[in-house]
Chains A and B, each alone.
Chain A
Amino acid sequence: GENVEQHPSTLSVQEGDSAVIKCTYSDSASNYFPWYKQELGKGPQLIIDIRSNVGEKKDQRIAVTLNKTAKHFSLHITETQPEDSAVYFCSSGSARQLTFGSGTQLTVLP
């Protein structure tokens, strides 16, 4: 089955700096790559997604890039703010299921 690896597991940045989280996947059939944000005590929430026919997608301070040849995708957060502190999960989807990475705890230091 699909295997998704996510790095780093923890990331601390100064407020205003950028944060980058990287993931790799194994299944060539995967064609959908959503990113979820999980705040403390809550369920994950979709923040951005990208499909395999697109190399990059941006939504305000958040961007995702996808390299299908290398089977990796990344989340970029610019101008980080304290409210960006959370756990971020990458995931990879094909016909039926989403497979999630192990998560990155992002801490934005004031």
Chain B
Amino acid sequence: NAGVTQTPKFQVLKTGQSMTLQCAQDMNHNSMYWYRQDPGMGLRLIYYSASEGTTDKGEVPNGYNVSRLNKREFSLRLESAAPSQTSVYFCASSFKLRASEGEQYFGPGTRLTVT
């Protein structure tokens, strides 16, 4: 099992460009998440998907869109990148949405720089 995989590992964008971060899990998990990690701020939830076909906003959703393509895949799209979106992005998955009922497994991250 590969666990949670993310592509690409690194990306540099210019302000205004768009891109999609891809995430896939092979653990048959129902719930998937996108976080961003900034120095001194821990991990902040951008969007999550409780199950296939549903998505909900997290703490910092502005400037992002998501798609739960199927049970395995959950993508994050930046329509018009801004320097404030320079960050490390992590995808995670868990069997159940309720935090106390299942460990969240994280991917290796995508380091995004917007110039």
Contact = CB atoms under 8 A, between A and B. Distances in A.
Interface residues of A, number: 28
Interface stretch (A12-20, A36-44, A67-75): A36-44
B99 A43 contact: no
A45 B106 contact: yes
Contact of B42 (A31, A46, A51, A102): A102
Chain B, interface size category, equals 20 to 34
23 contacts: A1-B59, A4-B42, A9-B40, A31-B100, A41-B108, A42-B109, A43-B90, A43-B109, A44-B90, A46-B103, A49-B103, A51-B100, A89-B42, A89-B43, A93-B99, A96-B48, A96-B97, A97-B45, A97-B58, A98-B45, A99-B59, A100-B44, A103-B42
Q: Shortest 6 CB-CB distances between A and B: which pairs?
A: A93-B99, A43-B106, A32-B100, A100-B42, A100-B43, A102-B42
Contacts of B42: 4, 6, 89, 100-103
A2 B44 CA distance: 12
B104 interface: yes
A93 B100 contact: yes
Interface of A: 1, 4, 6, 9, 31-32, 34, 36, 41-46, 49, 51, 89, 93-103
Given A1-B59, A44-B90, A32 B99 contact: yes
Interface of B: 4, 40-45, 48, 50, 58-59, 90, 92, 97-100, 103-104, 106-109
A102 B40 contact: yes
A36 to B, nearest CB: 8
Contacts of A44: 43, 90, 106
